[in-house]
Amino acid sequence: MSDIVQNILKGDQRSIARLITLAENNDKIATTAMKDIHPYTGNAQVIGITGVMGSGKSTLICELTRLYRKLGKTVGIIAIDPTSPFSGGALLGDRVRMMELAMDDGVFIRSLGTRGMLGGLTSAVYDVVEILDACGKDVVIVETVGVGQAEVDIIKIADTTLVVIVPGLGDSIQTLKAGVMEIADIYVINKADRPGVEQTIAEVESLVDITCSGKDRKTPVLSTIAKQGKGIDVLLQEIEDHRSYLEKTHLFEKQRRLRYEAELVEIIRKRLMSFIFDEQTCKQRINDLLDRIGEKKTDPYTAAEEILGTILK
């Protein structure tokens, strides 16, 4: 076992940060370290928080974290920000907004750029969750980018998924659309001091009545004012109740299996893409095929079959 892994298992913050960076960069050291870390994972409670931009997700996370710390639990926070498709950079502003928590030794915050990955997450998020789990964090909170209706990958990694909604978005039918509204384990109507909150709650509850008909658990609809710390204690209790429900119904194991499946597929995807674009011989073949496609001597489907045929030999 390497020194970096031993230090992470002891909770060393610098080693945690270093391995996360290596994992983001697909470094071979990270691959070896993640193999050693895996047996020490599976203890942390993973909470996913998603919702549209401006719904107050970061403030909600701050208040939840404060409450967990009062209960003596350590917390890891993964805040995902969009990466620019033009410059390749990411603002990573969530870490700035949570700076007041960064002084707490029981809290580890890391911002990650999506690096072009769709679904509201980043490809390194599975590794980062396992690193924070292995270092002893009791709770790991994953905040997705400000999402629309299609970014639902958070359910592949979280034990409990919170969908945060705010009143006054200007589209009352938005709550009835398919996609992100279907993944919630708990609905949180944040900024409940805004006008129109009653209508928003009624719409979401109407949706819950339809989608949860005949099920043994009805998805809770909670209202919070995160900026004032209101409703956070009730939210935390609902999160704990959901974990108890997963364990009681044996859905917890199914949820974890879904995470490992998603992680396995992502590792395979990254390895394949790395081989295709980094291997010199394969890269030259792609360039030749691109020329042939442009000259209409072949088509993209035939070209893809040739590349895959080379890899799978």
- What is the pTM (predicted TM-score) of this model? 0.84
pLDDT at 95 over 60: no
Percent of the chain exceeding pLDDT 90 equals 47
Which option is the CATH number for 42-249: 3.40.50.300, 3.30.1370.100, 3.30.43.10, 3.90.950.10? Answer: 3.40.50.300
Residue 310 makes CB contacts below 8 A (sequence gap 6+) with: 282, 285
Give the tens place of pLDDT for each residue, 139-179: 999 998 765 544 577 888 899 999 998 887 655 445 445 55
| pLDDT, position 65 | 95
Q: 118 vs 301, which has greater pLDDT?
A: 301
Q: 115 vs 307, which has greater pLDDT?
A: 307
Bridge partners (DSSP) listed for residue 76: 108, 140
Q: 307 vs 221, which has greater pLDDT?
A: 221
- Match 């707490």 to its residue by tokens: 104
| pLDDT, position 297 | 92
Give the tens place of pLDDT for each residue, 182-215: 788 999 999 999 998 998 888 888 888 888 887 8
| pLDDT, position 85 | 38
Tell me which of 169-173, 297-301, 309-313 is least confident: 169-173
Domain extents for the chain? 42-249, 265-311
| pLDDT, position 119 | 45
pLDDT at 15 over 90: yes
Tokens of 289: 């095929």
pLDDT at 115 over 90: no
| pLDDT, position 151 | 56
Confidence of residue 307 (pLDDT cuts 50, 70, 90): confident
| pLDDT, position 120 | 44
| pLDDT, position 101 | 81
